[in-house]
A = this chain, B = another copy of it.
Amino acid sequence: MLCVPNSSPLANRLGFEVPVTSSDEVTEKMEKEENINHGDDVLDIENEGSFDGNGEEIGRYWSQFSERNMTYEEPLLVKRINTTSQIAIVGSNLCPIESLDYEIFDSETFNQDWRSRKKVQIFQYVLLKWVFALLIGLGTGLVGLFNNVAVENIAGFKLLLTTNLMSKHRYFEAFLVYAGLNMSLAAAAAALCAFIAPSAAGSGIPEVKAYLNGIDAHSILAPSTLFVKIVGSIFGVSAGFVVGKEGPMVHTGACIASILGQGGSRKYGLSWSWLRYFKNDRDRRDMITCGAAAGVAAAFRSPVGGVLFALEEAASWWRSALLWRSFFTTAVVAIVLRGGIQFCSTGKCGLFGEGGLILYDVSSAKVTYNGGDILAVIVLATIAGILGSIYNFLVDKVVRSYSIINEKGPFFKIGLAITVSLLTSCCYYFLPWIANCLPCPTEGALTCPSIDESGEYKIFQCPPGYYNDLASLFLNTNDDAIRNLFSPKINKEFHISSLFIFFAAVYFLGIITYGIAVPSGLFIPVILAGAAYGRVISRLFEPITKLDRGLFSLLGAASFLGGTMRMTVSICVILLELTNDLLLLPLVMLALLISKSVADIFNKGVYDQILKIKGLPYLEAHAEPYMRNIATRDVVSGPLMSFSGIETVGNILHVLNTTGHNGFPVIDEPPFTDSRELCGLVLRSYLLVLLKAKNFTRERVFANASILENISVLDFGKAGSGKGVKLEDLDIKEEDLDMYVDLHPITNTSPYTVVETMSLAKAAIIFRQQGLRHMCVVPKSQERPPIVGILTRHDFMPEHVLGLYPDIKHRKWH
A578 to B: closest C-beta gap in Å: 10
Q: Does A478 interact with chain B (Cβ within 8 Å)? A: no
* Other-chain contact of A628, B106, B307, B323 (Cβ < 8 Å): B106
**Contact, CB under 8 Å: B676 / A781:** yes
The answer to whether A327 touches B628, judged by C-beta atoms less than 8 angstroms apart, is no
> A323: which B residues are within 8 A, CB to CB?
312, 568-569
Contact call B676/A782, Cβ cutoff below 8 A: yes
The reply to whether B593 and A582 contact each other, CB–CB distance below 8 Å, is: no
Are A304 and B572 neighbours in the complex by a CB distance under 8 Å? Answer: yes
Q: In angstroms, how far is the closest chain B Cβ from the Cβ of A48?
A: 19
Q: Is the CB of A783 within 8 A of B781?
A: no
- A394 interface contact, C-beta 8 A: no
Q: Of A245-253, A512-520, A755-763, which stretch is located at the interface?
A: A755-763
Interface residues in chain A, defined as those with a beta carbon under 8 Å from any beta carbon in chain B = 3-9, 24, 28, 102-104, 106-109, 111-112, 122, 126, 303-304, 307-308, 311-312, 318-320, 323-324, 327-328, 331, 334-335, 338, 568-569, 572-573, 576-577, 580, 582-583, 585-586, 589-590, 593, 596, 621-623, 625, 628-631, 633-634, 673-680, 749-755, 757-759, 761-762, 764-766, 769-770, 776, 778, 780-786, 813-814
Assembled-state Cα–Cα distance A596/B328 (Å): 12
Question: A629 near B759 (CB under 8 angstroms)?
Answer: no
Q: In the complex, given contacts A126-B814, A753-B753, A781-B786, what are 8 additional A-B residue pairs having Cβ atoms less than 8 angstroms apart?
A: A24-B629, A103-B759, A103-B761, A327-B569, A327-B593, A675-B782, A678-B780, A753-B758
| A334-B758 in contact given A103-B623, A781-B676, A782-B677 (Cβ < 8 Å) | no
The listed residue (B324, B590, B673) touching A331 by CB distance below 8 A is B590
B569 touching A622 by the CB < 8 A rule? no
Closest partner residue, chain B, to A622 (CB atom): B106
Question: Is B781 a contact partner of A335 (Cβ separation < 8 A)?
Answer: no
Asked if residues B327 and A589 are in contact (CB atoms below 8 Å), the reply is yes
Could you tell me the distance in whole angstroms from the C-beta of A294 to the nearest C-beta in chain B?
13
The answer to whether A754 and B757 touch (CB under 8 A), given A335-B586, A569-B307, A586-B338, is no
A79 smallest CB distance to B (angstroms): 14
| A577 close to B582 (CB less than 8 A) | yes
Most buried by B among A3, A568, A750, A814: A750
User: In the complex, what residues of B have CB within 8 A of residue A589's CB?
Assistant: 303, 327-328, 331, 334
A368, closest chain B residue (CB): B342
Are the C-beta atoms of B778 and A786 separated by less than 8 Å? no
28 A-B pairs (CB sep. < 8 Å): A5-B630, A5-B633, A6-B631, A6-B759, A7-B629, A102-B765, A103-B622, A103-B759, A104-B759, A104-B762, A106-B628, A112-B625, A126-B814, A308-B308, A312-B320, A323-B568, A331-B589, A331-B593, A334-B589, A677-B780, A677-B781, A749-B757, A751-B758, A752-B758, A766-B766, A778-B778, A778-B780, A782-B782
Contact of A5 among B6, B631, B675 (CB under 8 A): B631
Q: Are B778 and A568 in contact (CB under 8 A)?
A: no
Which residues does chain B contribute within 8 Å of A586, judged by CB atoms?
303, 331, 334-335, 338
List B contacts of A762 (CB < 8 A): 102-104, 750, 752
Q: When chains A and B are docked, how far (Å) is the Cα of A610 from the Cα of B781?
A: 45
- The distance in angstroms between the C-alpha atoms of A765 and B749, with both chains bound, is 17
Q: What residue of chain B has the Cβ atom nearest to residue A631's Cβ?
A: B5
By a CB distance below 8 angstroms, the chain B residues around A769 are: 769-770
Cβ–Cβ < 8 Å partners of A761 in chain B: 103-104, 106
A104→B627 CA distance, assembly (Å): 11
Known A-B contacts A323-B569, A582-B577, A585-B304; the reply to A628 vs B28 at CB < 8 A is yes
Chain B residues within an 8 Å CB radius of A622:
103, 106
Q: Provide the bound-state CA to CA distance between A569 and B781, in Å.
A: 49
Q: Please determine whether A783 and B106 come into contact, CB atoms closer than 8 angstroms.
A: no
Q: Report, nearest first, the 3 A-B pairs whose CB atoms are least far apart.
A: A5-B631, A677-B781, A331-B589
